[in-house]
Amino acid sequence: MHPIFKLVAQRLALGIILLLAASIIIFVGTTILPGDVAQQILGQGATPENLANLREELGLNDPPLTRYFAWLGGVVQGDLGTALTNGRDIASTMSDKMGKTLFLAFWAAAISVPLAIFLGLVAVRYKDRWPDKLISSVTLTTISIPEFLIGYLLIYFVAVKLGWAPSVAMINDSMTFLEKLHSISIPVAALTLVVLAHMMRMTRAAILNVMQSAYIETAELKGLTPLQVIRKHAFPNAVAPIVNVVMINLAYLVVGVVVIEVVFTYPGMGQYLVDHVVKRDVPVVQAAGLMFAAIYILLNMTADIVSILANPRLRHPK
């Protein structure tokens, strides 16, 4: 087997193993939560007979191992179960919520990824000069502020004081495309500020690491300008670590939007998960947790595969 196919197959197998381990952790974590699901659904006035019947109907009397394999078998077949609170199919509901979350994450990524790479290149070009120091100081400050605080600050100044955008990011199918973009402008700005700083600093570090190589000195001795050295030699050889950073931050945009969605009451997967955690709707929490884990593992696995394809040293580890 070709070394590339072997390495890709290993990454795929590792991803499946990690997803299986994540499913076990999610199931065990939701199983050991305190409280009674049947009591939560029926309320404090439920009779013991009704509670016993509901526990039997939900399979809560079965051994945990039996319930895990029954749940895992349904997931493999595309059946995520039914929400306990409203009786709706979880898969169909999650597809709509995930679409809204991906819409939010896409526009945050479309702004933050090119901007982060551009700022990283500018910081390298003007290393230790005022553009580099200004960019590094601003991004370091942004990293130090929690995302929920960034969201509240943007709401206060942009939505309340200036009135440029709504403070609640509600979207629906009846809205036009531009209306949706206007509605999510503040949460997109918050997510951009959160991930931009990390991507920019890692881009800068990756390119500076490459700039210390001998072939960079050779390129400089050939008379190439600093910008040409970065564009033709440093940046192409720093693609692998940059791709890793971008993929990790894309995973955060999809998986870590929970806080931003709650702050802005955005009807995506994060808000959906938090609402059902409060209601102790275990099937929804399990399905949402597994979906987030699958997306995170998939994007990190993609980053590994792209790094292998982009770096000859990884393609031929011997």
Domains in the chain: how many in total? Answer: 1
Cα 7 from chain centroid (whole Å): 25
CB 192 within 8 A of CB 253: no
Question: Domain for residue 49, yes or no?
Answer: no
Summarised one tens digit per residue, pLDDT across range 25-68 is 988 887 777 666 666 666 666 777 777 776 777 666 778 788 88
Q: Give the whole-angstrom CA distance, residue 201 versus residue 300.
A: 19
Nearest to 98 by CA among 253, 215, 309, 243: 253
What pLDDT is recorded for position 121? 81
Summarised one tens digit per residue, pLDDT across range 205-219 is 877 777 777 777 777
Q: Give the whole-angstrom CA distance, residue 205 versus residue 276.
A: 41
Q: Is the pLDDT of residue 287 over 80?
A: yes
Question: Domain for residue 189, yes or no?
Answer: yes
Domain holding 242, by residue range, is 90-315
What pLDDT is recorded for position 203? 80
Question: Domain for residue 56, yes or no?
Answer: no
Q: Is the pLDDT of residue 197 over 70?
A: yes
3-state helix, strand, coil in the chain (%, to 5): 75, 0, 20
Question: Domain for residue 144, yes or no?
Answer: yes
Contacts of 207 (CB under 8 A, 6+ apart): 120, 121, 124, 230, 234, 235, 238
Choose between 38 and 87: higher pLDDT. Answer: 87
What pLDDT is recorded for position 65? 85
Nearest to 243 by CA among 274, 198, 199: 199
What pLDDT is recorded for position 245? 78
Q: Is the pLDDT of residue 97 over 70?
A: yes
Question: Domain for residue 57, yes or no?
Answer: no
Q: Is the pLDDT of residue 91 over 70?
A: yes
Choose between 295 and 210: higher pLDDT. Answer: 295
Question: Domain for residue 110, yes or no?
Answer: yes
Question: Domain for residue 105, yes or no?
Answer: yes
Q: Is the pLDDT of residue 175 over 60?
A: yes
CATH of the domain at 191: 1.10.3720.10
- The pair phi, psi for residue 276, each rounded to 5°, is -85, -20
What pLDDT is recorded for position 310? 66
Summarised one tens digit per residue, pLDDT across range 227-246 is 777 777 777 777 777 777 77
The pTM assigned to this predicted structure is: 0.80
CB 232 within 8 A of CB 219: yes
Question: Domain for residue 140, yes or no?
Answer: yes
- On average, the pLDDT of the chain sits at 81
